[in-house]
Structure 1
Amino acid sequence: MPQTHHRTNAAPPCSVVAMAEDLTKVYGEGESRVVALAGVSARFLEGEFTAIMGPSGSGKSTFMHCLAGLDTPTSGTARIADTDLGPLDDARLTRLRRERVGFVFQAFNLLPTLTALENITLPSALAGRSPDPEWLRHLVETMGIADRLDHRPAQLSGGQQQRVACARALASRPAVVFADEPTGNLDSRSGAEVLSLLRSSARDLGQTIVMVTHDPVAAAYADRALFLADGRIVHEMPEPTAAGVLDLMKRFDGRTPTP
């Protein structure tokens, strides 16, 4: 189990890369009405790795989806840098996600007919750009997949596929990378490799990472952990440890943490 993985000599982050202000999300009406978010506010800084945690149904995935422009909040504001996502139409939202946001999903989401390299460069190709060759070379070497670029997903292990997915998320140098349970389908060794890559992306490359996870060990790689319950942020833990996160999670009664 990891002890601590937090930045040591990195310069303190300065600019706000993503922000939520009083986000609410309500599904349905009447007796079927469900409040998924009940006024969530948070800031995510340059070079900061944040874990979003909470019981099932706490709103953590909804929060990430609204912040990333994948879902529309009922009220409140989500921003990427200085851009308010609310007024954007579908075309402008799609363009913003391609240019400013990276995604890493639990299921990898690689296209099976494309090679690793083609998967990595696909978002840039869809945006009509070519990735910086020096940056791309640095990424694949950092990810340890330089000798796997001509392989298709079926020829790669789960850990290698997720490293390709991480490289794809970082290739366009997005403002922020959202990771939704990125180690959920991996064994412990592969999961540790991916988490180390995300951590080093924040610490060494200045990348902002926002990761939804239920795993205390995964949260221990982050610089801080935000805990949601009943659609609200109920606790923030700087420099989380697996033991500290697990202890707090044990005090959840499924809705709110006990003192």
Structure 2
Amino acid sequence: MPAISEPVPPDRQPEPGPQPGPLPPAARAEQLTKAYGEGDTRVVALDAVDVEIGRGRFTAIMGPSGSGKSTLMHCLAGLDTVSSGRIWIGDTEITALNEKQLTRLRRDNVGFVFQAFNLLPTLTAEENITLPGDIAGRRTDGDWLKRVIETLGIGDRLRHRPSELSGGQQQRVAVARALASRPQIIFADEPTGNLDSRSGAEVLGFLRGSVDELGQTVVMVTHDPVAASYADTVLFLADGRIVEQLVAPTADAVLERMGRLDDRASGTTENHRPGGR
């Protein structure tokens, strides 16, 4: 008969080990301001924005035309300079980097997906996917790339050139290219803008899958409430400021909030500015 162990008195219970804290943000900004022009022609695109992008989360950015949503994404990604304020990707303050350092950080830590697929027509899908790493002289992790390709369902299209792929397939290749280097964060600017509704839903599903199955962080600018409903959190901009956020969004809830913001915007004279979408 097995021995029965004596219960351990409460005062002799082992001390619990350290509990894991919340993950640090994938990107954040403090007092981020972006202005165009000088004097009477000065237009403020972003007005002292504070924001944190959760790691391993899917964040959508929305707002009326001219609200600053694309400007915010471009600044967070290091694609545009700021007038004042500070931005970090991971632990690195990108607003303190010179151009060479910033280029290296974008190459190694940031992925991009744009409305235009930006694939080279003379290369196969696989060659387009691995091109950034090839240019950088960096070997792609074969196991990781296999997971990405399986997640995106493009294994049977790797030898095809872009002209032999549908729009949805081309965008999936572009997503795979963004994922291939296992970046800290992926920025997607209207990634379904050139796609029909079915192809767009597929690509959004794959971006969602890259977060859920591959642990990626995705930030997406969109005007589409259905696209935003794939995100964990939606940030709403108006007049260069974050005015609201919605967690676990539905398309109807996003549409209702966008309606309020559009009504608010229609009550003011809209200023058109570079990068102010």
TM-score (normalizing by structure 2): 0.86
Q: Which runs of 4+ in 1 moved over 4 A?
A: none
Work out the number of aligned pairs and report it.
247
Matched, 1:96 2:123: no
Partner of 1:85: 94
Distance 1:88 1:125 in 2: 24
Alignment CA distance shift 1:12-1:247 (3 Å): farther
Extract unaligned runs of 5+ from structure 1.
1-10
Contact 1:230 1:256 in 2 (8 A): no
Partner of 1:154: 163
Distance 2:190 2:21 in 1: 26
Matched, 1:41 2:50: yes
Distance 1:138 1:256 in 2: 46
Residue 251 of structure 1, CA deviation: 1.1
Partner of 2:15: none
Matched, 1:27 2:36: yes
Indicate the SS of the match to 1:200.
helix
Distance 1:103 1:15 in 2: 21
Q: 1:231 aligns with which of 218, 228, 240?
A: 240
Partner of 1:189: 198
Contact 2:151 2:210 in 1 (8 A): no
Contact 1:13 1:47 in 2 (8 A): no
Contact 2:34 2:47 in 1 (8 A): yes
RMSD: 1.6
Q: 1:134 aligns with which of 128, 143, 147?
A: 143
Residue 180 of structure 1, CA deviation: 0.2
**Which digits, 9 at most, give the CA deviation of each residue in 1:160-214, with x for residues without a partner?**
0000000000000000000000000000000000000111111121111000000
Partner of 1:70: 79
Distance 2:133 2:54 in 1: 24
Contact 1:13 1:48 in 2 (8 A): no
Indicate the SS of the match to 2:66.
coil
Residue 13 of structure 1, CA deviation: 6.4
Query: Which residue identity lines up with residue 176 of structure 2 in the other structure?
Result: A
Extract unaligned runs of 5+ from structure 2.
1-19, 268-277
Matched, 1:208 2:217: yes
Indicate the SS of the match to 1:55.
coil
Partner of 1:117: 126
Distance 1:13 1:114 in 2: 42
Indicate the SS of the match to 1:47.
coil
Matched, 1:175 2:187: no
Distance 1:66 1:239 in 2: 25
Residue 117 of structure 1, CA deviation: 0.6
Partner of 1:217: 226
Distance 1:21 1:188 in 2: 36
Q: Percent identity?
A: 66
Distance 2:177 2:72 in 1: 23
Indicate the SS of the match to 2:45.
strand
Residue 110 of structure 1, CA deviation: 0.9
Distance 1:12 1:143 in 2: 31
Distance 2:110 2:246 in 1: 25
Residue 255 of structure 1, CA deviation: 2.8
Contact 2:151 2:209 in 1 (8 A): no
Matched, 1:58 2:58: no
Residue 154 of structure 1, CA deviation: 1.0
Distance 2:135 2:52 in 1: 29
Residue 12 of structure 1, CA deviation: 10
- For the pair shown, the structure with the greater C-alpha radius of gyration is 2
Alignment CA distance shift 1:13-1:242 (3 Å): farther
TM-score (normalizing by structure 1): 0.92
Partner of 1:4: none
Contact 1:18 1:43 in 2 (8 A): yes
Contact 1:159 1:193 in 2 (8 A): yes
